[in-house]
Amino acid sequence: MDKIFKVFYTTPNYSDDLKFEQAVKDAFQKVREMLMPDRSVMFSSMHNTQYSSPFSITGEINNADLYICNIAKNNSNAMYELGIAQGCNKPTILLIDNEATLSLDIDFLRYVNYDSNTLSNNFTHHLAKAIVSALNDPDDWKLNSLLPSNKK
């Protein structure tokens, strides 16, 4: 086994997210199956609440090989964490809830869109593919490389 990839995932802490959390866990399991036996992946997560320490989140993002950020229901913490990931030049996957109203111009970033009311295997499949793609070609998933001024 060559390397253990570290993936850090943050999401808002909403009581109605059990189905979403299960879909994300299913995607993580698919990634493990897709990468084995050559590579391994370790997932860690944190629910971003008003009580989450910015220092612990910053450290987790900085130590991760890939950062996954759930932008759901207009969560300002997610935007802050997204800025940390960009500052650390981390490969990033955004999960964008169809209920989210994005106040920042982030339409050029790569993301997996979902409807929390009708989550399906399709979401799990697309998220797993995005994770594997980002782990295989991390430079292509860095936020700074996607800025319009940095496009080739």
| CATH number for 11 | 3.40.50.450
Answer whether residue 103 shows pLDDT above 50.
yes
Torsional sign, CA 139, 61, 36, 12: negative
Count of alpha carbons within 13 angstroms of residue 43, beta-carbon side: 17
Band the pLDDT of 50: cuts 50, 70, 90: very low
Band the pLDDT of 107: cuts 50, 70, 90: low
Higher pLDDT, 14 or 118: 118
Q: Which domain holds residue 50?
A: 4-150
Mean pLDDT to the nearest integer, 44-55 = 62
Claim: this prediction has a pTM higher than 0.95:
no
Q: Give pLDDT, residue 127.
A: 94
Higher pLDDT, 117 or 102: 117
Mean pLDDT to the nearest integer, 69-97 = 85
Answer whether residue 111 shows pLDDT above 80.
yes
Average pLDDT, the chain: 80
Mean pLDDT to the nearest integer, 1-5 = 74
Answer whether residue 51 shows pLDDT above 50.
no
CA distances from 95 to 65, 67, 73, 118, 121 (A): 17, 11, 11, 15, 15
Tokens (6 digits) for 23: 């879909």
Total domain count for the chain? 1
Count of alpha carbons within 13 angstroms of residue 127, beta-carbon side: 29
Q: Rounded to an integer, what distance in angstroms lies between the CA atom of residue 21 and that of residue 17?
A: 6
